[in-house]
Amino acid sequence: MLFYLGGLIFAILPSYLQHKNDANWASLGASGAVSAVLFAYILFQPWKLIFVFFIPVPAIIFAVLYVAYSIWAGKRGNTHINHSAHLWGAAYGVIVTILIEPRVIPHFLDQLTRL
């Protein structure tokens, strides 16, 4: 629960600071917290399947596509979705997981070499 809440705060903080004087801007950051948990999971199980609209996708492939889409959509704008929160949440998930469990790095790299 603390990991999730930390991800929520970390994900929303940059956007909040950027838009704090904009009365028309609103964001919760919950999807950023979900990104944190998801990317922590991906470090441990990069080849496990994640079902996206009932389509099985390896977690590591999903991660790359998710980050690419979030960057692209964030630059496009006008979606009313805080894509930067998704990216910051993902970053939090990776960074904090590595800080908590440094052995995840060699584990992740080892898993990547196994198809």
The pTM score is: 0.84
31 in catalytic set:
yes
Count Cβ atoms below 10 Å from residue 85 Cβ, excluding itself.
28
**Alpha-carbon torsion, ordered 72, 76, 81, 86, to 10 deg:** 30
pLDDT confidence of 39, banded at 50, 70, 90? Answer: very high
**Alpha-carbon torsion, ordered 68, 99, 6, 56, to 10 deg:** 40
Residue bearing tokens 């929160």: 85
Give the model confidence (pLDDT) of 67-111 as tens digits.
999 889 878 877 777 778 889 999 999 999 999 999 999 999 999
Residue 100 identity (one-letter amino acid) = I
Catalytic residue among 31, 35, 70, 84: 31
86 in catalytic set:
yes
Residue bearing tokens 């603390």: 2
Q: How far is CA 58 from CA 51, 61, 84, 101, in A?
A: 9, 5, 23, 22
Catalytic residue among 15, 35, 70, 86: 86
Comparing 19-23, 40-44, 65-69, 70-74, the range with the smallest average pLDDT is 19-23
Q: How far is CA 27 from the centre of its chain?
A: 16
